A = this chain, B = another copy of it.
Amino acid sequence: MFEPEQCVILLDGAMGTELQSMGLMTERIPEGVNRTNPEAVIDIHRRYIQSGAEIIYTNTLGVNRYKLDGSGYLVKDLIQAAVQNAKTAVALEKESSDNENHSVRIALDCGPIGTMLKPNGDLSFTEAYEIFREIVVYGKEAGADLVVFETFTDLLEIKAAILAAKENSDLPIFASMSFEENGRTFSGVSIPSAAITLTALGVDALGINCSLGPDQIFPLAEEMTEWTNLPILVKPNAGMPNLTTGKYDISPDEFAESMSRFPAIGIHLIGGCCGTTPEFIQKTKERIQSCHFGKTLNQERTVLCSSVKAVVVDRVRVIGERINPTGKKRFKAAITNHDIAYILNQAIEQTTAGAEILDVNVGMPGIDEPTFMAEVVEAIQSICDAPLQIDSSDPKAIEAALRIYNGKPLVNSVNGEDKILHTILPLVKKYGAAVIGLTLDENGIPQTAEDRIRIAEKIIKTAASYGIPKQDVIIDCLTLTVSAQQSQALETLQAVRLVKERLGVKTILGVSNVSFGLPEREIINTTFLTMALTNGLDLPIMNPNNELMVNAVEAFNVLSNMDVHAEKY
């Protein structure tokens, strides 16, 4: 639909503040004007089209079941009216225009619900999803060309909206959040986390709107370009509100001047938010006529995130292994007794000790793993910044966790078996995760490095066929027990090296298994860990409370020049 590499696409400016200046914002539900005074809405749309806007947003920002409750308005009615008004404006402009190429598309505009999701508020993820589903369905029925979710501050809420749109329409999706000058949304979402998560969720464009003027948004937009390859949209306000007059503080010329800087940093979609008028868009169009992109976006890093913290795999990152009941009586009891506090304590202890990612496994016979997994993931995310690794052999448990995960997680795991690949990879793609590929298949763990690499290749290729880029596939060459199969330690290490060299993907490895059955396991584990790191291991899964091992990782990061000036060490 869009070919944003080629040119800047102009969006429209504010609807609300325009209506306000026309004295039409007196109702509790401002979008009621779609029905009470459609001509005013159509007029504003037409003036934006005349100013050069190629995409116009329907007047539906606050239209949702929660906000309309008790107002007498229905979501369906207002959305139908709003889309119709936009269509009317487009049709009228088409008739009166000489320019046949001037095709204008209609974006169904959708803002946040207006109440917080759990655990901060009362709304469940599923309830939020339902609210958005309804909006998308009506918008699609009414004939919108795309959906734009904007002004969001909660990453999980916009994820619910995006899933609702993906699962109930084929409309392109724009996703835009509002940031404060510190680069965080009201709820703490960072620019990287927003960009990584929205990109992984497969939207068509993502961006920043409202809250700030163009000059304040500029550095945030620039940061955003570091974290996505997708088209970025920017819709700033007309400056900051003047504290005495309450009016926005910059002129159309000043706005256009500021906006003309955006294409050079790679911003593709440009418009205005609160306080902007057709004149702002007109002036902006004039200024950006001849500008061109100064930057090609090319983000191929492996990165995971929570809503507030991104972890780039550009140096060794420790994955904490302790949230796992296998072989742990106390942990099993915690699951049986629904003792979430115990599990949260494991999370805190591990991140305090230096784990940057946490594996979460709650698999145990006799529990409802999907429900419990989702609950634990939600609980950990409410108290812990670290991105999570969702570890289960039950696809339902993986999906339950993926659905409510706030950010971009890592799925543990797929392997070379077709059945598993074709069950799990679609989930990984849909929910915007990265995935671990174990180098084993129907025939077990191959004895040789070469055979493990063949399986890794198959996993990477199959992932690509689902649209999962190779930086989101992390290969586990599998650690065997050296006391049982002594030559296998070298085979694993060799596989790690070859996977890095030949396939160019990141590697992950559980370390502790190597020393099973030997005395002083910690020494064997630490040495094997360092050997694996030397051969290119990126993500050791280990007990971060083992000081020897954590020391080895930190020293490795210094010696391999990844912890520059030994700042972390």
Name A's B-contacting residues (CB within 8 A).
482-483, 486-487, 489-490, 493, 514, 518-520, 523-524, 526-528, 530-531, 533-535, 551-552, 554-556, 558-561, 564-566, 569
Q: Check A527–B552 contact: CB distance below 8 A.
A: yes
| Residues of chain B lying within 8 A (CB to CB) of residue A489 | 559-561
- Would you list 10 pairs from A and B whose C-beta atoms are within 8 A, ordered by A residue? A490-B559, A518-B566, A523-B552, A523-B555, A524-B555, A524-B569, A527-B551, A530-B531, A531-B560, A534-B535
| Residues of chain B lying within 8 A (CB to CB) of residue A560 | 489-490, 531
Please name the residue on chain B nearest to A552 by beta carbon. B527
Q: Check B528–A555 contact: CB distance below 8 A.
A: yes
Point out the residue from B519, B531, B564 that lies within 8 Å of A559, measured CB to CB: B531
For chain A, what secondary structure do more than half of its interface residues adopt (helix, strand, loop), or is it mixed?
helix
| Residues of chain B lying within 8 A (CB to CB) of residue A490 | 559-561
Q: Check B527–A559 contact: CB distance below 8 A.
A: yes
Q: Check A534–B493 contact: CB distance below 8 A.
A: yes
Point out the residue from B483, B527, B561 that lies within 8 Å of A487, measured CB to CB: B561
| Residues of chain B lying within 8 A (CB to CB) of residue A555 | 523-524, 526-528
Most chain B CB within a 10 A radius of its CB, from A493, A527, A554, A561:
A527
Point out the residue from B528, B531, B554, B559 that lies within 8 Å of A514, measured CB to CB: B559
Please name the residue on chain B nearest to A550 by beta carbon. B523
Point out the residue from B520, B523, B556, B564 that lies within 8 Å of A527, measured CB to CB: B556
| Residues of chain B lying within 8 A (CB to CB) of residue A534 | 493, 530-531, 534-535
Q: Given A523-B552, A528-B559, output 5 extra A-B contacts at Cβ < 8 Å.
A: A514-B559, A526-B552, A526-B555, A527-B530, A527-B556
Q: Check B486–A564 contact: CB distance below 8 A.
A: yes
Distance between Cα atoms of A530 and B558 in the complex (Å):
14
| Residues of chain B lying within 8 A (CB to CB) of residue A487 | 561
The number of times this chain is found in the oligomer is 2
Shortest C-beta distance, A343 to chain B (Å), equals 31
| Residues of chain B lying within 8 A (CB to CB) of residue A535 | 534
Distance between Cα atoms of A140 and B493 in the complex (Å):
60
| Residues of chain B lying within 8 A (CB to CB) of residue A552 | 523, 526-527, 530
Distance between Cα atoms of A545 and B561 in the complex (Å):
28
Distance between Cα atoms of A566 and B517 in the complex (Å):
11
Most chain B CB within a 10 A radius of its CB, from A486, A526, A555:
A555
Contacts A534-B535, A552-B523 known; A486 to B528 CB distance under 8 Å?
no
Please name the residue on chain B nearest to A565 by beta carbon. B486
Shortest C-beta distance, A58 to chain B (Å), equals 56
Point out the residue from B518, B558, B569 that lies within 8 Å of A569, measured CB to CB: B518
| Residues of chain B lying within 8 A (CB to CB) of residue A518 | 558, 566, 569
**Top-10 shortest CB links A-B:** A527-B555, A530-B530, A534-B534, A489-B559, A531-B534, A523-B551, A524-B555, A523-B555, A487-B561, A486-B561
Shortest C-beta distance, A526 to chain B (Å), equals 7
| Residues of chain B lying within 8 A (CB to CB) of residue A565 | 486
Most chain B CB within a 10 A radius of its CB, from A533, A561, A564:
A561
Shortest C-beta distance, A17 to chain B (Å), equals 54
Please name the residue on chain B nearest to A528 by beta carbon. B559
Please name the residue on chain B nearest to A566 by beta carbon. B518
Q: Check B526–A482 contact: CB distance below 8 A.
A: no
Please name the residue on chain B nearest to A489 by beta carbon. B559
Shortest C-beta distance, A520 to chain B (Å), equals 7
Shortest C-beta distance, A18 to chain B (Å), equals 57
Distance between Cα atoms of A234 and B524 in the complex (Å):
47
Q: Check A524–B486 contact: CB distance below 8 A.
A: no
| Residues of chain B lying within 8 A (CB to CB) of residue A530 | 526-527, 530-531, 534, 552
Contacts A534-B531, A534-B535, A535-B534 known; A559 to B482 CB distance under 8 Å?
yes
| Residues of chain B lying within 8 A (CB to CB) of residue A519 | 569
Please name the residue on chain B nearest to A569 by beta carbon. B518
